[in-house]
Amino acid sequence: MCNSHHKRSPPDRHHWSEDIAAEFLQRQGLELLVTNYRNRTGEIDLIMIDDQTLVFVEVKQRREVQFGRPEESVGMAKQAKLRRTAASYLQHHDRSQSWPCRFDVVAITGGPHAPVCRWIQNAFP
């Protein structure tokens, strides 16, 4: 069912939760490389470096968890799309090809003024 008062960000803009997630991960020691990487296969919210590991980050946000936690919305189809988009990124960025990679999810609950971040490393293979 579509919730008419819920608006999605236009394709050329990112959601506030991505800024919160990037700041959160940077405080954990990760280095931000790219925000909102897009190609014909999909989009990756954040691409970061954790030591010598390239990290592809999916950010999910929900105000409340009564209908499920944010990370639960990263199902098999979304994971496959993220893998394809990451593979495309690696093909076009030579220096990254030899680095180990992982997929993380940052699940944010609450609103922009009182977010709670949950960082799930190696969320899927």
Helices (H), 28-113: 76-92
Q: Please determine, for residue 10, whether its predicted confidence score (pLDDT) is greater than 90.
A: no
Residue range 54-93, pLDDT digits in tens? 999 999 987 776 676 767 778 899 999 999 999 999 988 7
Q: What is the dihedral of CA 91, 40, 80, 24, to 10 degrees?
A: 80
Tell me the H-state helices in the chain. Answer: 16-27, 76-92
Query: pTM for this one?
Result: 0.83
Token reading at 2: 């579509």
Domains of the chain as residue ranges with CATH: 34-124 (3.40.1350.10)
**Paired tokens of 21:** 């997630």
Q: Where are the alpha helices (DSSP H) in 44-113?
A: 76-92
* Residue predicted with more confidence, 73 or 7: 73
27-31, 86-90, 116-120 — which one is most confidently predicted on average?
A: 27-31
Dist. CA 38–CA 49, nearest whole Å: 18
On the question of pLDDT at 2 being above 70, the answer is no
Closest CA to 121 of 106, 111, 108, 99: 106
